A = this chain, B = another copy of it.
Amino acid sequence: MRYLTQDGFNALFQISHRVDEDLGTDYHSRFLNYLHDAQERDLTVGIAMTDAKGDRRLRPSEQPNPDTYVHVVERRSGGVVISGTKAIVTSAPYVHELMVLPGRAMTEADRDFTIACAVPLDAPGLTIVARPAGRPGNASASFSGRYGQSTGVCRFENVFVPWERVFLCGEWKHAEFLTKSYATHHRHTCIAARAGFGDLLIGAGALMIEANGLSTDRNGHLRDTMVDLIKTVEGFYASGVAASVYGVVDPSGAIEPEPVYANIGKLLLATQIYDMHRLAHTVSGGLVATLPGPEEDHNPETSADLAAVLTARPDVPYAQRAAVAGFIEDLTVSESAGWYSTISLHGGGSPEAMKGEIHRRYPIAERKELVKRLVERGVAEVAGPSSAQPGQCCDTGCTVPETPEVIKRRPQD
């Protein structure tokens, strides 16, 4: 089973256990059966979570067009029938199955919109509208031609799903927990994914500096920019490491990343992906956006000449310089690059969502307590007579002050 499903499957592992505990259902074993089958058949499963949403001021059950959210239209003995639209589904056109999950907290009126289930891609009634992944037919797509992604709109029209593939159906009180848990897992994985993207920029930047005939030793500003790029990438990756280190064991036995760090890491990468482009362009120079396209490499009228005059140092042939420039272009200039930026910003929740979670989960009350203790002690002491003289080291003289109670620095405590 491939990685796409890791975050969603973790969240389902947790929620199915939780609902069983709460309501006496048997979702957990049902989900485990599905999981083991998917692992054995080595399925790639995509997550279909973000609904089309319709009028943003209205809840799912209030929408004039109910198909703006996926929902149950019929319950049969063998399973459920669902309809509606999931609007942003990464990898939709080339996975084996879609895992439908509720995309938000629900109220009782939204009961029918609380549905989690697995749907094979060839299920009758499922239509996917998507752009092709990467930059099809474009020889410049040296990276995205192989690793490009596509995002699809998935339209469900009376799709039948048998009960053994249904993992939540109407338990509206639990929808919020599922979305929060999923978000934490997903944001955590985003951090690693984008750090990998950063690794590519760092490596390509270093190669480009060489191919341009420059060096980080002679050109201080290039060294500075490379360090800035490294600082950015490893800086947010470190939040992912901290989220792992402080991960907490859920009652189901799953380990959930520490949410404050997972959200901070995602928030940092979401906004700093743009800085990463800037830094990559700073080290690469303008050539990455102005080189003739690769088709020109095969134009007998010009290719030899271009190669001759655009070689920047004798030991790096033009073809290599152009290849690295093309690689950076693919990562930071092309529409694949733009897609990556946007999806980094909004995928797994927009910055506002991360900020909300950070505020909700951070132990601000503990920090207030710490300061309160310090201030109150201070107020008491300052009010009394002080023997301190100018030049004396502190107000209390030579008695060692008692150590303040240490607040253990784990955000989630």
Residues of A131-145 contacting chain B, CB below 8 A:
131-134, 136-137, 139, 141-143, 145
A interface residues, how many (CB within 8 angstroms): 156
Set B88, B221, B334, B390: member contacting A136, Cβ < 8 A: B390
Q: Residue A76 at the B interface, CB < 8 A?
A: no
Binds B, one of A99-107, A169-177, A247-255, A368-376: A368-376
* A386 touching B227, Cβ below 8 Å: no
Given contacts A238-B241, A390-B137, contact A401 B146 (CB under 8 A): yes
Q: For residue A23, which residues in chain B have a CB less than 8 angstroms away from its CB?
A: none
* B274 touching A278, Cβ below 8 Å: yes
* A146 touching B346, Cβ below 8 Å: no
* A130 touching B292, Cβ below 8 Å: yes
This protein's copies in its complex? 4
Residues of A278-331 contacting chain B, CB below 8 A:
278, 281-282, 285-290, 292-294, 296, 299, 301-302, 305-306, 308-314, 319, 323-324, 327, 329
Binds B, one of A26-34, A181-189, A262-270: A262-270
Q: Residue A96 at the B interface, CB < 8 A?
A: no
Instruction: Convert A53-96 into 0s and 1s, putting 1 for each residue whose CB lies closer than 8 angstroms to a CB of B.
Output: 11111000000110110000000000000001101100001100
Set B53, B131, B199, B302: member contacting A293, Cβ < 8 A: B131
Beta-carbon nearest neighbor of A298 in chain B: B383
Beta-carbon nearest neighbor of A222 in chain B: B352
* A146 touching B396, Cβ below 8 Å: yes
* A378 touching B133, Cβ below 8 Å: no
* B260 touching A234, Cβ below 8 Å: yes
**Assembly CA distance A235 to B269 (angstroms):** 11
Binds B, one of A10-18, A160-168, A211-219: A211-219
* B281 touching A393, Cβ below 8 Å: no
* B282 touching A200, Cβ below 8 Å: no
* A308 touching B65, Cβ below 8 Å: yes
**Assembly CA distance A358 to B229 (angstroms):** 11
* A148 touching B394, Cβ below 8 Å: yes
* B378 touching A54, Cβ below 8 Å: no
Beta-carbon nearest neighbor of A370 in chain B: B203
**Assembly CA distance A231 to B351 (angstroms):** 12
Given contacts A57-B213, A333-B338, A367-B199, contact A85 B146 (CB under 8 A): no
The A interface, classified by DSSP as helix, strand, loop or mixed, is helix
Q: For residue A369, which residues in chain B have a CB less than 8 angstroms away from its CB?
A: 203
* A238 touching B261, Cβ below 8 Å: yes
Set B132, B200, B206, B391: member contacting A132, Cβ < 8 A: B391
Residues of A390-409 contacting chain B, CB below 8 A:
390-396, 401, 407, 409
Most buried by B among A213, A216, A366, A389: A213
* B224 touching A234, Cβ below 8 Å: no
Within the complex, what minimum Cβ distance (angstroms) separates A344 from chain B? 9
Binds B, one of A108-116, A118-126, A149-157: A149-157
* B268 touching A231, Cβ below 8 Å: yes
Q: Residue A202 at the B interface, CB < 8 A?
A: yes
Q: For residue A299, which residues in chain B have a CB less than 8 angstroms away from its CB?
A: 129
Q: For residue A358, which residues in chain B have a CB less than 8 angstroms away from its CB?
A: 227, 230-231
8 pairs of residues in contact across A and B, judged by CB atoms under 8 Å: A67-B305, A87-B290, A88-B290, A199-B370, A227-B355, A238-B265, A294-B382, A324-B371
